[in-house]
Structure 1
């Protein structure tokens, strides 16, 4: 009976992990934004954006992190007031038996003076996502 119970618990755990992995996926750390290469790196445990000029912008979230992608697996870019915005996210799985995640998302917009990061948004879901409001709301327009 104990072996059966153990097998059932292990199977349930694996299904739970698979469901979370499906939602979160593997974070994408390289992307093309406005025709230029950008990437994300681990800078002493901090998620850091490497801009096209190779300068760094430390973001307000821990490593690992990834770019928010569209359905074609390309960088998701939202445009508001003629300003392009992309987002970086990370998800932490909640302890078992839960299958949800606590995720962080930080929008970054391209201004004439350069990249500007918004405040971090927290949400209870696995992986990247959100609608245009999550890209626009962190900024003062």
Structure 2
């Protein structure tokens, strides 16, 4: 199977599977996020975010997503949730904050928690991108 072969999971709306193609696309973004494991790197990023990002080969869109803290765009641009969450932790955010921000309508953290506690999003209307495009 080549990187451009159609995959069934690409038909699930809002799903960004971290496959080989996504891994290649997001390599620099994920290496930036992984660098935040070290306190010295976190301090350097806090001191000069834009300058710190210069040492990574991010695309313009990836760079903008990081600086804007656009969590959904980071995933769409090849980010792995486990790596991008390192940036969220730097900002003092929880996974619920990030999940709420990535929701279709940008819901509040409390609404996101309530939705997840009650079983998550309804499958109705969310089975395929075709359902979204005709909804």
Give the TM-score of the pair, scaled to structure 2: 0.26
Between 1 and 2, higher relative CO (CA 8 Å, sep ≥ 6) is seen in 2
Structure with a larger share of its residues in strand = 1
Structure with a larger share of its residues in helix = 2
Question: Which structure has the larger Rg?
Answer: 1
Give the TM-score of the pair, scaled to structure 1: 0.26
